[in-house]
A and B are shown apart, each in its own frame.
Chain A
């Protein structure tokens, strides 16, 4: 077995992306495939999975104890990083991206690499639209906000009605669970579920496919190792959008 202790990483920059989302840049470059994640150790607090938004950065929404502790760190503070883990997106040809909220983080490096033709970006308000400026430079950007403060007034899934997903070889998706399930339903209706690549988030402990905390029903796929990116056809009958599990393994309705 290959030794993989956490690497020490010092925070070199903290960027406020939106009222609840910050990017933490560190002094460590991790070669990765967009969609892969790292286990981020906040010393004395916990370790949590985070998608890489660049080879030396994670983009984090404050949602719980570990992310709150991250938000309390300053430039110069040290964290531990294990990874990268998981499979990442695999694209060739025409790619459409659909991102919502902080789910844009793993999709951004895909777009930055020039792999995305059209990016459908959604958030609650204009202020919550993540990486909008940079995405606009990298590809064709179409936005939607729940309150109508920017772009289409409504869900990002509505934007899918304006493009024909069948025209694309891959539809890469990451965002809130309900949004991903809605996108999957549209792709299924259009008969192209297998072209969807969905980056999932589940509670994780090990990150290396051994503990079972992140297994999804009904096939027991490990989000940390078999995923986190799954093609839509493998998710049609899954728990996606219906329930998840907490740290104890109990089911929690979404």
Chain B
């Protein structure tokens, strides 16, 4: 397998310890859990998505594991502005704050709370199961552009996380780029549902949700590949990454870094595990493989 030369990397304006970030929505509700993941070898972390008002999220079940993945409908639970104090614990470390809102103005307001605490922002215009938020905005390129512009004018790195639940993800990527995105993150979860045959009803409290994990890795690779063709800003690959080889494959598709989420379910030390396999002193320059599959 290809191994990479270790060392810090800057992606979309954010200085990272390595190419591996914790994905939004996973162990990102407290400063302590973010610090724990950074300490286990992540090059950066993305927080739980923070919105304009505190939200408790959907009624449970919120999460079930299925063959090859995790199905969830958390419903964007978040402490809103109180989250600022959580980040005291990880001050100065590579923390990207995921934010959401229902309008460009709300995105701007939420981002404004974190200008001192965030190394950058990741705009959640892609959560597939939060009414009025996330993918409700993120399937409209004009809205993606407006929300991105509302945050990028704060002059902090602005990443935009896209949903795969659209016909043309490249159009969404170009919209984010026009709005001033410094990187594009792809993908959020894939809309999905399971039904409890025992209880004869959808298993999630919200009925449908989003699928993550290895089952969606091929979908994510294809989206990253398309975005690499369509956009000039860096791409952060996300979706089912669970091994060093998956990281290499994402990078060959066009990703400059990757986010890892569901894989912490099997191994909370996954970042250290993957980093140990991915990096070696005699490895190649990472930039050599980014997008090499397009040649």
Interface residues of A (CB under 8 A from B): 1-8, 39, 41, 43-48, 78, 80, 82, 205-213, 215-220, 222, 225-226, 245-251
Of B60-68, B99-107, B132-140, the segment with at least 4 beta carbons within 8 Å of chain A is B60-68
A2 to B82, CA, bound (A): 36
Within 39-79 of B, Cβ neighbours of A (below 8 Å) are at 48, 54-57, 59-70, 72, 74, 77-79
How many angstroms from the CA of A247 to the CA of B199 in the assembled complex? 25
Q: Are A220 and B33 in contact (CB under 8 A)?
A: yes
Q: A residues within 8 A CB of B26?
A: 210-212
A220 touches B30 (CB 8 A): yes
Find chain A residues with CB under 8 A from B83 CB. Answer: 249
B130 interfacial contact with A, CB 8 Å: no
From B25, B67, B194, give the contact of A211 (CB < 8 A).
B25
- Which of A4, A45, A46, A220 meets B65, CB within 8 Å? A4
Task: Assess whether B205 is interfacial by the CB under 8 Å rule.
Answer: yes
A80 and B62 form a contact (CB under 8 A) = no
| Known A208-B265, A220-B36: A249·B199 in contact at CB below 8 Å | no
Chain A residues with Cβ below 8 Å from B142 are none
Interfacial chain B residues near A215, Cβ < 8 Å: 27, 29-30, 32-33
Determine if B62 and A6 form an interchain contact, defined as CB atoms under 8 angstroms apart: no
The chain A residue sitting closest to B60, CB to CB, is A47
Tell me whether B34 is interfacial, beta carbon within 8 Å: yes
* B78 close to A249 (CB less than 8 A): yes
Contact of A82 (CB < 8 Å), options: B64, B68, B266: B64
A48 touches B48 (CB 8 A): no
* Distance to closest chain B CB from A60 (angstroms): 15
Which of chain B's residues 175-205 have a Cβ closer than 8 Å to chain A? 194, 196, 198-199, 201, 203, 205
**Considering the chains assembled together, what is the distance between the CA atoms of A4 and B66 in angstroms?**
6
* CB contact under 8 A between A206 and B268, given known A219-B36, A247-B56, A248-B79: no
- Cβ-defined contact, B79 with A47, below 8 A: no
A3-B67, A220-B33, A249-B79 are known contacts; what are 8 more A-B pairs with Cβ within 8 Å? A1-B214, A3-B65, A80-B199, A206-B72, A217-B30, A218-B32, A220-B34, A249-B30
With A and B bound together, what is the CA distance between A27 and B36 in angstroms?
40
A47–B82 touching, CB < 8 Å: no
What are 19 contact pairs spanning A and B, CB under 8 A? A1-B68, A1-B69, A5-B194, A5-B196, A6-B198, A48-B60, A80-B203, A82-B64, A208-B63, A212-B27, A213-B29, A215-B29, A217-B32, A220-B33, A220-B37, A248-B80, A249-B77, A250-B54, A251-B82
- A44 to B30 Cα, complex, angstroms: 29
Q: Within 8 Å of chain A (Cβ to Cβ): is B262?
A: yes
CB within 8 A of B61: which of A80, A210, A249, A251? A80
A76 to chain B minimum Cβ distance, whole angstroms, is 14
Q: How far is the CA of A225 from the CA of B265 in the complex (A)?
A: 9
Minimum CB–CB distance for B239 against chain A, Å: 14
**B25 partner residues in chain A, CB cutoff 8 A:** 211
Q: Which 3 A-B pairs have the closest CB atoms?
A: A8-B198, A47-B60, A220-B36
B264 close to A (CB within 8 Å): yes
CB distance from B183 to the nearest CB of A (A): 24
Q: Give the distance to chain B from A84, nearest Cβ to Cβ, in Å.
A: 14
C-alpha spacing A48/B59, complex, angstroms: 10
Output the least CB separation between B99 and chain A (Å). 15
Distance to closest chain B CB from A178 (angstroms): 22
A207 to B62, CA, bound (A): 10
Give Cα A218 to B88, complex, Å. 12
Shortest CB-to-CB span from B31 to chain A, Å, is 8
In the assembled complex, B94 has its CB within 8 A of some CB on chain A = no
Beyond A6-B196, A80-B198, A250-B82, whether A210 also contacts B56 by CB under 8 A is no
Q: Is B213 an interface residue (CB 8 A)?
A: yes
Query: Which listed residue, A4, A205, A218, touches B62 by the CB 8 Å rule?
Result: A205
Residues in B neighbouring A249, C-beta threshold 8 A: 29-30, 48, 77-79, 82-83
Expressed in whole angstroms, the Cα–Cα distance for A13 and B62 within the complex equals 28
Q: Any chain A CB within 8 A of the CB of B6? A: no
The verdict on A220 contacting B56 (CB below 8 Å), with A8-B199, A248-B79, A251-B82 known, is no
A46–B77 Cα distance when bound, in Å, is: 15
In angstroms, Cα B66 to Cα A119, docked, is 41
In the bound complex, residues from chain B placing their C-beta under 8 Å from that of A219 are 32, 36
Chain B residues positioned under 8 Å from A7 (CB to CB)? 198
Q: How far is the CA of A45 from the CA of B58 in the complex (A)?
A: 10
Partner of B57, one of A41, A210, A247: A247
Contact partners of B32 in chain A: CB under 8 A: 215-220
Write out the residue numbers on chain A whose beta carbons fall within 8 Å of the beta carbon of B213.
Answer: 1
Q: How far is A217 from B90 in the complex, measured between Cα atoms in Å?
A: 13
Nearest B residue to A40 by beta-carbon distance?
Answer: B60
Residues of A within 8 A of B62 (CB): 47, 205-206, 211
